[in-house]
């Protein structure tokens, strides 16, 4: 199999489009929402607390077993277990995104928070099944390409569409129309689900029809199986903390850009468009490094570089509204983040048992999300207490 042949497959195209469908709602309930809140005059402490909206990404392992074992609603069962559930969730996401766009943060922040939480819950649920689909439908030799495909689709949606597109449009139109357009873009992910083949049935844990044995087989066994791995506790701690410093800084970048006077178009062209290419380049290099060096050295290099590039935002804070420096800071941060992400996804995917794909991958990424959400929810308060130079220097230390 040549280097390019692995990508020339209908499954990889489906995974690419599903990745797009995952990245879109993640931005709309996260970074893009924080930009909207900043433009609406919401204080930084409240914006920081909105990180808690992403709590479902940290808790998705609790309901992930349902997607490993329960069948989707009857009308969607002909698509299969994986694709049927994905379509159900994607349709619900379209409705939730439309409703979020019709909320008014300045007049009722609580309602905006509730609707954002609904989007995040559905988005996290979609991630559970899409990740399981990717791992189930590909052979081991294809997993690296699958990780690259889903990450590329995710970043196209996150950076270009729900990121750059939404933020640039916010200079010219209202947010209800923007979120309606984004809801329509969920059709890309839906298309990917419909064109992809259903994975072959995997061997499932056996149980009788009684509630106790069924509960053990569906809920307890995936975690018991994971805990047979040497160093499983350290693995979970690693998943929790690997992206922690970047999570703290990332939550406050949009309020930071607003305070420095960058426009939506400027942020879109640098942070979302240019930043996208920097991330893809970093991911490509990360994939090469994993193949040549293995996971440990690749993850170590990515982690050190991610920490170091946070200092560039401290330089940006000192210089103020300097578009050239913004290119440097965003480019370096996204490039190194891409290296770390490619190695991280490949590493976590390789830890999952075929019998419990959805549950175990959800467990690992839930710990990662917990560091990004709950542990970083005080970022806004911290930013209110110190200047931006101190803030970004501290995140490098974290």
> What pLDDT was estimated at residue 327?
95
DSSP strand E in 189-268: where?
none
> What pLDDT was estimated at residue 61?
85
- Average pLDDT of 353-379? 78
The rounded mean pLDDT for the chain is 86
How confident is the model over 164-190, as pLDDT tens digits? 889 889 989 999 999 999 999 999 999
Alpha carbons 178 and 268: distance in angstroms, whole number: 15
Out of 145-154, 221-230, 322-331, give the one with best mean pLDDT: 322-331
> What pLDDT was estimated at residue 201?
67
Coil, helix or strand at residue 102: coil
How confident is the model over 75-87, as pLDDT tens digits? 999 999 899 999 9
> What pLDDT was estimated at residue 141?
64
pTM (2 decimals)? 0.72
> What pLDDT was estimated at residue 3?
46
Q: Cβ–Cβ contacts within 10 Å for residue 317, how many?
A: 20
Note whether 116 and 97 are within 8 A (CB): no
User: How many residues comprise the chain?
Assistant: 398
pLDDT higher at 191 or 4: 191
């Amino acid at each position: 199999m040549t280097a390019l042949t692995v990508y020339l497959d209908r499954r990889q195209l489906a995974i690419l489009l599903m990745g797009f469908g995952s990245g879109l709602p993640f931005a709309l309930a996260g970074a893009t929402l924080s930009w909207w809140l900043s433009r609406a005059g919401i204080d930084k402490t409240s914006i920081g607390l909105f990180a808690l909206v992403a709590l479902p990404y940290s808790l998705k392992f609790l309901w992930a077993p349902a997607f490993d074992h329960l069948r989707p609603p009857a009308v969607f069962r002909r698509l299969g277990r994986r694709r049927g559930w994905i379509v159900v969730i994607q349709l619900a996401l379209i409705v939730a995104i439309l409703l979020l766009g019709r909320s008014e943060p300045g007049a009722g922040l609580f309602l905006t928070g509730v609707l954002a939480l609904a989007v995040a819950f559905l988005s996290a649920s979609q991630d559970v099944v899409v990740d399981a689909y990717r791992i189930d439908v590909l052979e081991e030799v294809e997993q690296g390409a699958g990780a690259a495909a889903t990450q590329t689709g995710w970043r196209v949606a996150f950076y270009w569409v729900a990121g750059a597109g939404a933020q640039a449009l916010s200079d010219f139109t209202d947010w209800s129309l923007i979120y309606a357009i984004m809801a329509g873009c969920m059709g890309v992910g839906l298309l990917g689900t419909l064109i992809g083949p259903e994975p072959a049935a995997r061997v499932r844990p056996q149980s009788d029809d009684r509630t106790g044995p069924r509960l053990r087989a569906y809920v307890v066994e995936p975690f018991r199986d994971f805990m047979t791995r040497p160093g499983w506790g350290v693995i979970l701690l690693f998943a929790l903390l690997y992206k922690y410093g970047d999570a703290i800084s990332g939550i406050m970048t949009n309020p930071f850009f607003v305070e420095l006077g960058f426009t939506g178009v400027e942020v879109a062209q640098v942070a979302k468009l240019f930043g996208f290419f920097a991330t893809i380049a970093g991911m490509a290099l990360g994939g090469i490094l994993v193949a040549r060096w293995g996971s440990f050295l690749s993850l170590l290099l990515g982690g050190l570089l991610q920490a170091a590039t946070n200092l560039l935002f401290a330089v940006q804070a000192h210089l103020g509204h300097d578009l050239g420096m913004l290119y440097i800071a965003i480019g370096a941060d996204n490039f190194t983040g891409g290296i770390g992400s490619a190695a991280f996804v490949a590493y976590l995917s390789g830890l999952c048992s075929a019998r419990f794909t959805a549950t175990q991958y959800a467990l690992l990424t839930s710990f990662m999300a917990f560091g990004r959400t709950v542990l970083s929810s005080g970022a806004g308060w911290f930013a209110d207490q110190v200047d931006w130079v101190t803030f970004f220097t501290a995140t490098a230390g974290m």
